[in-house]
Each structure stands twice: as C-alpha cells, then as structure tokens.
Amino acid sequence: MVTVDRLHTALRSGELLRHVLRYRDARIRTHRLETIGRPLKLALLMRLLSHGQCVVEDEAGHQRPLTLPLMARWSWQSIREPFTKAGLLAGKAREVEALMARASGRRIVDDGWEAPALYLRTDMSFGLRAGGSVGHTAGVVNHLGDFGAKPIMLTTDLVPTVSPEIEVHTVRPAEEYWEYPELPTLVMNNRFAEQAQRALAGRSISFVYQRYSLNNFTGARLAVEQEVPFVLEYNGSEIWMSRNWGTPLEYEALSTQIEMANFAVADVIVVVSQPMADELTARGIPAAKILVNPNGVEPDMYSPAIDGSEVRRRHDLEGKTVIGFIGTFGPWHGAEVLARAFAELLRQTPAYRESVRLLMIGDGVRMPDVKQALEQGGVMDAAVLAGIVPQSEGPAYLAASDILASPHVPNPDGTPFFGSPTKLFEYMAMGKGIVASDLDQVGEILEHGRAAQMVIPGDVASLVDGLRALIEDPVRRKQLGALARQMAVERHSWHQHTGRIIDALRSRVSGG
C-alpha cells in the first residue's frame, strides 16, 4: 500500500514506469465511497499499473469497480468541462445576485419553535476523526434539541460524536469538475438543495443553521425559500485563510460575493471571537446581527474523572511528568514551537530527560516541522507522537497528561488572532494545569496566574519558562486546573453555547 503523495513522486521520477501492468489488481482506498467524487487521474494510473481488476474500496469494505464505461464517462466529463466551466461560474454569479436582491425585506413566517431546525454542514472535508471542527459541529447539533425539537442534519460526511438520536442525511459530492479545486464547492449548492428537498419531504422547519464553508450559499437560499430565520456560523474568511495559509483562490471575486450574500441573508451571524466580529463590522455588516460566542466543551466527556492510566501504560509514561498537546497541527497551533521549547527545556535541565515526556496527539501540515525540531534537538526519544485518535478517545489522552499546552502563534499578517481554540476549553474541563499563549481570546478567558500559566506567543524561551514553572510546582498546577474546570463548567459548555444562539435568534426574530 502506498499513499497518493508517494505515487505522485514515483510518477514524476519515472520510477513508476517499471511497474506498468505489473500487478494482478489495484485498489484505491478511501474513507467512504460516497465522498471520493471523480478520481479520474488516479483511476487511470491504477489501470496503467494493473492487468486485472481495479476498484475503489472504502474503510467498510464496500467496493466500486473502475469499469470501462465508468472511466469513459469520467473522461468525457473531463474533456467537456473546460468548455462549460465559464457557464457554471456565470450561472452561480447570477444565482447569488438574485439571492442578494431577495435578502432585503425578505419575509419570515414565525410559526413558533416546535418544528426542528435544519443544520447544514457543507464542508468539502471528509474522513475527519477528531479536531476542533468535529467538536464544534457535534456540540451544537447535539444541543439544539435542548431548546426545541431535535434538528435534522444534512452533511457531506458523518461527524464523530454526533448523537445517534439526530436525524442525519449525507450529501454525496458530485462527480463534475473534480479536477478544478474550487468548482466542486459551487456544484455542492445544487446537491444540498436537492437533498434538503428529499430529506424534508414537505416538513416544516423552525430555522436554518449553516456552518459556513467556501462558496456555499445553500442555507441562505433555503431560508429565503422557506421563509424561516437563518443562522450563519462563521469561523473566518476562507478567502483570508487561502491567501495566508494556502494558495489564493482563483475565483476570489465570486467567493467574496457569496460570503457577502450569506451575511446579507443571515439573521444571526455566530462568530467565536471579537476579532471576527470586528472584521465583519469593518465590512459593513450590522453589529446587531453578530453574536460573539466562544467555543465550548462537553464537561461530562472532558472531566478530571477520566482515567488516563491505560494511555500512560501503553506509551511508557508511568512515573513521568507529561506535557500534553492535542490538535490538527495547523499553521496557527504552534506545535512546532512547542517541540522546539521541549528540546530547549531538556537541554537546560538534563534531569528532565528521565522524568519529563511530551505527548502530542493528532497530525497535520506542521507535523514534519515538529519531527524536525524534535530530531534536531535530540529529544525524539522523550516524545510520544500518538497520531490522530478518535474524538471519543481524546479525553483519555488528555487525562494521561499532567500539563496541557496551548502554544498558539499570531497571524502571519499581523492581524488579531481570531481563533477560539476548542482544545482550550477541553483542557480547562480536564482540570489540568495549562500553559498557553497570551493571545487575544486565549488570554482573555484564562488570565495569567488565575486559570493558567500564560506565555509570550511564539516565544520559545517564554514557553520553556512557563512549562518549567508548572513542572516544578504540582500544587500550583492543581490549583490552576481546578479553577479552569470551574470556569469551563459554569460558562463554556456546549449547552450554554447553543442556548446563547437560540436566545439571540429569538430576540432578532421578535424584534427585540
């Protein structure tokens, strides 16, 4: 078995030519058959390598043969699309213009709150087993029913820890335009609209809630058509993130138009931090629409009562002081800063080589930087890189830690840090001593010396000092952790988070 990246490397080097028709059969392994879209180039490569059967196979063992008729259809679509994409873009631009025109003065019929809400997760990300987006999605979906009927969920993929009591409908991505990075997100609007019609089957809904994703305006359109309120969860501009943490969007003007249409229709825009609210008001969005609502946690799932002893045994951490970190290793997480600080900590205090360990849970784009820092610092043998663990197992790994690190770094362009790290609230609920970057909302919630040891963001020396302070003082660790737990329970549960959304929406709809 080889990864797609390794396959591409072998193709570029010419090494793959030695494997032409060498294999009896070939399989493309994927998360779920429904989420793979149209992997034409990969399928053609599989056919080149195999003289027998080629299939796509998912984690559950379901298979889809890569037959000649299927390959012919995919190839015809690929040949035709360069000539049709201009029409797709123009058509979507017209749809968004029409939506904007209907946004002003649209009618909302308030039939009460007995009907279920419709929750839309439109992200084109698949196979997520853990992470902040998983926690946020499940946190809201699971608690909408606390304030009315249980919601109906439409999603591109199944989300771990969503309650089995929730009615969930999955939306299969279209095959069209799969070789164009941004165009499938536009086509998903049609897929969601069609699936919503089938899922609702004439049933009423009380409001539409959408977790915004690039180029999707399904929630706004459904709210206008159904004459119900619209809640938009906005976790930051995809346009900004593409510019600063990825590749600038090719159709940025259209993406901006879609963002603005969502803002125009939304009755409540939920953001997790004040910098996000400031960004929206600077773009002309009325402040009355915006609810600043930090992320949350399930206090029963993340709790000091969780037993981490099995994780400690498994990773040979018994008798050690463990520094824990969990995340998706994104550019903003500072995981590589933590790795450098850990190496420096052990260099400065050689005795820690026997008594202190680093436990990093998760994986992502900055993992190579983390490994490099640990190897260059000569401390790889004192670190445990646990990889991605299922969301439900995360608490046990945090429970295996004595100190939890949140080393977030500033935005690269100097703008305020707009995040509200879910790990922060999970750390708090675990009742552990926390070392965290004093960065915007992180510092506002924790406060230095009150519920955490705060350090200078991105500063290795400051992080070393912060870690050492809690390593050397177990009593203070316990005091900080107890207060952090109390704050999480009293202010930051997902139930409370969702309740604030419902209150804001009712106030807006009633004119309050």
Residue 330: the pLDDT is 86
Residue 112: the pLDDT is 67
Tally of CB atoms within 10 A around 102: 17
Architecture of domain 309-492: 3-Layer(aba) Sandwich (3.40)
Of 326, 356, 358, the residue nearest 472 (C-alpha)? 356
CA atoms within 13 A on the CB side of 96: 23
Q: Which is higher by pLDDT, 35 or 357?
A: 357
pLDDT, tens digit, for every residue of 43-96? 888 878 787 888 888 888 888 888 888 889 989 999 999 999 999 999 999 999
The two tokens of residue 253 are: 């003007």
How much is the CA Rg of the chain, to the nearest whole Å? 24
- Where does 14-53 show beta strands of DSSP type E? 26-30
Rounded Cα–Cα distance for residues 56 and 63 (Å):
6
pLDDT, tens digit, for every residue of 209-256? 999 999 999 999 999 999 999 999 998 888 888 887 778 889 999 999
pLDDT mean across residues, the chain:
90
Rounded Cα–Cα distance for residues 349 and 354 (Å):
10
- Please, what's the b/e burial string for 403-441 (b: 16 or more CB within 10 A of its CB; e: otherwise)? bbbbbbbbbeeeebbbbbbbbbbbbbbbbbbbbbbbbbb
What percent of the chain has pLDDT above 90? 63
Q: For the ranges 109-118, 165-174, 460-469, which has the lowest average pLDDT?
A: 109-118
Assess whether pLDDT exceeds 60 at residue 512: no
Looking up tokens 């309050």, which residue turns up?
512
How many residues appear in the chain?
Answer: 512
Strand order in the sheet with 356-362: 383-387, 356-362, 321-327, 403-406, 433-437, 453-455
- Where does 390-438 show beta strands of DSSP type E? 403-406, 433-437
- Please, what's the b/e burial string for 295-319 (b: 16 or more CB within 10 A of its CB; e: otherwise)? bbbbbebbbeebebeebbeebebee
**How is the chain split into domains, by residue range?**
4-66, 92-296+497-510, 309-492
pLDDT, tens digit, for every residue of 351-403? 999 999 999 999 988 999 999 999 999 999 999 999 989 888 999 999 999 99
The two tokens of residue 248 are: 């600038």
Residue 426: the pLDDT is 95
Rounded Cα–Cα distance for residues 220 and 230 (Å):
7
Residue 4: the pLDDT is 65
Same fold, 92-296+497-510 and 309-492: yes
Residue 104: the pLDDT is 79
Per-range mean pLDDT, top range of 106-120, 403-417, 432-446, 463-477: 463-477
Contacts of 482 (CB under 8 A, 6+ apart): 431
Rounded Cα–Cα distance for residues 212 and 235 (Å):
7
Contacts of 26 (CB under 8 A, 6+ apart): 46, 47, 49, 50, 52, 53, 54, 55
Residue 206 near residue 226 (C-beta atoms within 8 A): no
Q: Which is higher by pLDDT, 260 or 126?
A: 260
Which option is the CATH number for 92-296+497-510: 3.40.190.10, 3.40.50.2000, 3.40.50.300, 3.90.330.10?
3.40.50.2000
Tally of CB atoms within 10 A around 477: 23
Residue 13: the pLDDT is 72
